Amino acid sequence: MKERLIYTVTEEILKEHNVNALWTEPVAKDIDGILTITYKRIKQTFYVAIRKELRNYQLDQIFHQAKIYNPLLVIAETIFPKIRNLLKENKIGYIDLNGNVNIEADNIMIKVEGNREKRHYPEKHGRAFTKTGLKATLLFLLNAEKINDTYREIARNAGIAIGNVKLILDDLTEGGFLLRKDGKKFKLTNKKDLLQKWITGYNDKLKPTLFLGNFRFIEADDFNKWKELKIDGGNTCWGGGSCRKY
C-alpha cells in the first residue's frame, strides 16, 4: 500500500500540478517518510504520515505527530471532507487519491478541492482481515512469537477453528506481513501497516459483532447508588467509564 500511494502521489497527482517530488525514507520510526517538493522553483520538505483511510480515531495521533514534525503532510487513499477541514484548521497538509491536495508552507500554496476524478485501486481483503482472521492477527500483534506455534495452539489461543489457521497465515504471507526465516520459522514484518489494517478491520467488521446491548438497572433507584451495590466478583464486572474509574 505504501509504495503504491507514494508512486501515485509523486508521479501522477503532483505532476498534474507541475510539482516535482522526491521521496526519501524516514529518519524517525514514528513517521513514514520525507517528501521534498519543488514548485515554481521553490523547494519545501515535509514529514509524511501515510494512512489507508484517515479516520477520526487516528486524528489525535496525527495532531501529536504534527507538533513534533513540522510541517506534516498526510497522504491517504481517502480523506473525507470533515477530516480535511480539521487538518486545515490544524495547519496540516494532505493529499488523497481522489486528487484533493492542500499544501501550504512558506511560499508554497497548492489547493485542489472537490476533485471528482476517481483513482480506484482495488485491494484484496483475504482471510486475515475477516472477523475470524482479525482474532488471529491480534494474537500475532500482541506476541509475534505466537506465529510459530502449532496450528492447534494458534486456534486455541485465538478462539478460532483450526481449519482457518493456514488460510490466515497464507493471506498474511501474500500481503507481505510474514516472511520465512531459514526456510522454517515465520517472522512478522510491516507491523505498523498490519496494525493499521487491523484497526480498520476491527472497527468495520469485528467490533459491531461484539456489542451486546444497552442495559439499565432493574431498580431505578440503583442508578444513583451504583457504587454501593454488591456484585458477584466472579461473574460480574463493570464496563465503560465506571470500569476505568473504579
Residue 217: pLDDT band (50, 70, 90) is confident
Query: In CATH terms, is domain 2-112 a member of 3.40.50.1820?
Result: no
Q: What is the pLDDT of residues 91-105, one digit of tens each?
A: 999 999 888 999 988
The architecture (CATH level 2) of 127-207 comes to Orthogonal Bundle (1.10)
Average pLDDT rounded to a whole number, residues 198-220:
83
Q: What is the pLDDT of residues 51-95, one digit of tens each?
A: 988 999 999 999 999 999 999 999 999 999 999 999 999 999 999
Q: What is the pLDDT of residues 185-208, one digit of tens each?
A: 888 988 988 999 999 989 888 888
The whole-angstrom distance between residue 83's C-alpha and the CA centroid of its chain comes to 15
User: Within 46-203, where are the H helices?
Assistant: 59-68, 81-89, 131-142, 151-158, 165-174, 191-201
User: How do the domains of the chain map onto residue ranges?
Assistant: 2-112, 127-207
Alpha carbon distance 46, 37 (integer Å): 8
